[in-house]
Chain A
């Protein structure tokens, strides 16, 4: 594989110093040299290796989508808008207490809790926010801890660093909730098991979130600090279009910031991302436009389908059919993200033959660039 011959030097040259780093954390916490800290990947010291897992697992170094798809789904890459899937539906947590704390339908929280209760996983790597609303990855071992993670921060978080820090002697089964770049990084690890570390075969559940872009944690957090009393914020929300708002909910009501202003703090790398729905997860979850309190779900693998069945039979989630209009809209949004990204990539490289890290079939590339 091409990327085998490269290491930390190229990781910085080709990705991090090029503004392509998504802060997914795939390179961090695997060795004493790379950590994620306050919105940066920091190199604590010089590594002399010419090849390394840091470069290999980075979702912004060369990725052949066919290879990944064959590993995860046993079939080549599905060139449609939503990737490979078996079912698209809407769902929400049955428990009002979960829905109250959660983003939209609370499905992710319910599924993770169930997976733990059923023994599908022992622990889960989730994201929480600290008192300053900075996101950080953490490992939850029980339902109470899982609830701690409910709610989105919209800022990038190095979830995979927490995965990387799991010990080689740890034989628990792990679930991970991540955004598309993190799921992609994880998929690369599944293709070439990390040596000397936690056994990747024990990652038995991956839940991917829909994502259009993420905000730069140190810059946006500073902005929030300057404009809000962060300690009083309960949660954030970006309502669906045409709202164009970023809402911060406090006990005294909701403070809104114009979405255009917030978009200034997007990570530049998100402009080059083709994946809106976490195409390589077991289940992907996002909001349901026009259906407040519900999530849209895309079930992709047997493990994902299994989990949904159990959730339904345990009465933990209510499900429903995704209206055609919503499905059309979802597909269009996902396709548009691919189009925008490829256009940005080509405009950056200057050539349709250089698609940076992405390897797509020529037909799909042509289709997207039309």
Chain B
């Protein structure tokens, strides 16, 4: 990662979109940045936090996005420029506050910018969501960067706009921009000499009722005026085009690439909007007059498409001469990521031009080849991951219990409980806190005769983020469920960010450790703390806890550090190998338990010998597989003195 705060205006630096956003905020003189980890935004906050000390500004990992948003807003009220960054689901969590904030304004304070980066294609999210309609819905000015330079420049400019309008402003990004890298020309970094001084006039908006809504609309009209001449809206192409592409965001790159490859630059025009809401209507009108066919290329919802068509419907009849194509017409799918091929196909259909991007014979070879050679793989827990051991113990306990119990899963690595890595133990996976919340809901059904044990499974970071109210609710209303907190002492999935339990902050200051068990104790629930690598004890505890059903929820904390954080500090604890004299392979008595069911990536099936073997590169040396082998064929030797003190129990 380059030094985000390098003092080199004009220098061209290769930057990730998220880094460019961070740089843009610094160039705007941001003083407070908050966030909660969430792909694809997780790099923004650390980029600022790493330079915060020397720039005399403040960066915070908040407990969740609602808190992050409120903290940033509070700072803005205090007269400083503030920013909060979050993924689409995070914006959902912050919405209650945002929806109130827009009615109040920023109290004549500093600029406040919301960076929302969406995850089209659901690579790293429980849902696919285009968050842009939120801005339109809540009357928030919205920009979307088309490349890395714009990611920086828009972020920087939004603080100005925010202060001029006394309104929160939103930048909507996507994974492709956030996580890719491109050239960015740096701007100047201001020297910040501002002392927070809240102006905080009497909040007349509280008393205005609907008039404050009308007032908000007037702010938007002012924004629209500004947007009409914004340099973030660009047109490239002939004066009168056979086909007008209206695009935004990363689809600008796809549209340009498509047009270039097809050699249609003199026939197809590309109008790229950077300021999306409110729509710069005059600009749109000008371009609509110069083309008949209009193709919208955007990701993911037909947001721009609908906004433009809505405006189009308001035009007088003689001006309504355009024909629109996009999601509605099926030219671009309204789900998933867009790519140049999709743009090419759409343009080809509308212009009658073809473009063959790949020789069909080669295409077929590639398809059949990949079907043969590319092994379909689901997501898997890392070798050595403590969640695998936790889930193994839970699986055994649920089977012994015999009442068809199951897990309701949550976000994070432990969400693997829903797939083969987690032995398909989980039946649902929802939002942050949903693992606990859904368990709470199923747990109150026992009074109607629902007899299946319910285990809500959540990570440690998720516990702090969303589960405390759920647990409190379960205790108060006496719901029958077990809350398992997989405490690997880090926010793992998003890149090992700290939590209130890890003793550090975003700016690497030491912090008090707020233990999960102490919070639970305050709620008065039964708490058990297990080491998941001690399979026998953990299984016994789980069995006891799921059957302890008469006093509301109980908590089991599965405490063992994430393997990847541990491995950074320490060598592997065990040397592990499979003894070929003992391994039964797929014979009766084993049926490939370790490679077929347990499935740690460190274990491999050798088709030639018909036995298991350890993959010496992937094996983390945790030694847990030695405890599950039914015949003790997996052997281990402690490499570090303390490593050998775990009780070894062969599964038979």
Contacts and interface: CB of A to CB of B under 8 A. Distances in A.
Interface string A37-81: 110101111111101111000000000000000000000000000
A198 to B, nearest CB: 11
A32 B590 contact: yes
Given A32-B628, A165-B652, A48 B589 contact: no
Which 7 A-B pairs rank lowest in CB-CB distance, beginning with the nearest?
A32-B630, A52-B588, A44-B399, A31-B589, A47-B591, A32-B593, A37-B400
Interface in B586-638: 586-591, 593, 596-597, 628, 630-631
Contacts of B586: 49
A31 B630 CA distance: 6
Interface of B: 395-396, 399-400, 402, 423, 584, 586-591, 593, 596-597, 628, 630-631, 651-652
B631 A195 contact: no
B584 to A, nearest CB: 6
24 contacts: A7-B588, A30-B589, A31-B590, A32-B590, A32-B652, A35-B400, A37-B400, A37-B402, A42-B402, A43-B399, A44-B395, A44-B396, A44-B400, A45-B395, A48-B591, A48-B596, A51-B588, A52-B588, A53-B589, A165-B652, A195-B589, A196-B587, A196-B589, A197-B589
Nearest to A39: B402
Given A48-B596, A168-B631, A42 B588 contact: no
A29 B652 CA distance: 6
B303 to A, nearest CB: 46
Nearest to B594: A32
Contacts of B597: 45-46
Contacts of B396: 44
A241 B593 CA distance: 51
B607 to A, nearest CB: 16
Contact size range, A: 20 to 34
Interface of A: 7, 29-33, 35, 37-38, 40, 42-49, 51-54, 165, 168, 195-197
A40 B591 contact: no
Given A31-B589, A32-B590, A196 B652 contact: no
Tell me the dominant secondary structure on chain A's binding face: loop
A47 to B, nearest CB: 5
A7 B584 CA distance: 17
A366 B95 CA distance: 81
A32 B651 contact: yes
A66 B354 CA distance: 80
Nearest to A32: B630
Nearest to A37: B400
Contact of B631 (A38, A47, A53, A196): A196
Contacts of A165: 652
Contacts of A30: 588-589
Nearest to A55: B588
Nearest to A35: B400
A176 to B, nearest CB: 18
Contacts of B589: 30-31, 53, 195-197
Contact of A53 (B588, B593, B630): B588
A343 B279 CA distance: 86
B589 to A, nearest CB: 5
B519 to A, nearest CB: 34
Contacts of A37: 400, 402
Given A45-B597, A168-B631, A196-B631, A31 B591 contact: yes
A294 B586 CA distance: 50
Given A38-B402, A196-B589, 15 more contacts: A7-B588, A30-B588, A32-B590, A32-B593, A33-B591, A44-B400, A45-B423, A46-B597, A47-B591, A52-B588, A53-B588, A53-B589, A165-B652, A168-B631, A195-B588
Nearest to A46: B597
A195 B395 CA distance: 28
A252 B630 CA distance: 47
A335 to B, nearest CB: 38
Nearest to A56: B588
A56 to B, nearest CB: 9
Contact of B584 (A38, A40, A54, A196): A196
B605 to A, nearest CB: 13
A7 B588 CA distance: 9
A30 B587 CA distance: 12
Contact of B588 (A44, A45, A49): A49
A260 to B, nearest CB: 29
A42 B631 contact: no
Contacts of A45: 395, 399, 423, 593, 597
A196 B582 CA distance: 9
Contacts of B402: 37-38, 40, 42
A136 to B, nearest CB: 15
Contacts of B584: 196
Nearest to B597: A45
Contacts of A53: 588-589
B544 to A, nearest CB: 13
B421 to A, nearest CB: 14
| Residue from A37, A42, A44, A54 with most neighbouring chain B CB atoms (10 Å) | A44
A158 to B, nearest CB: 14
Nearest to A30: B589
B399 A42 contact: yes
Nearest to A165: B652
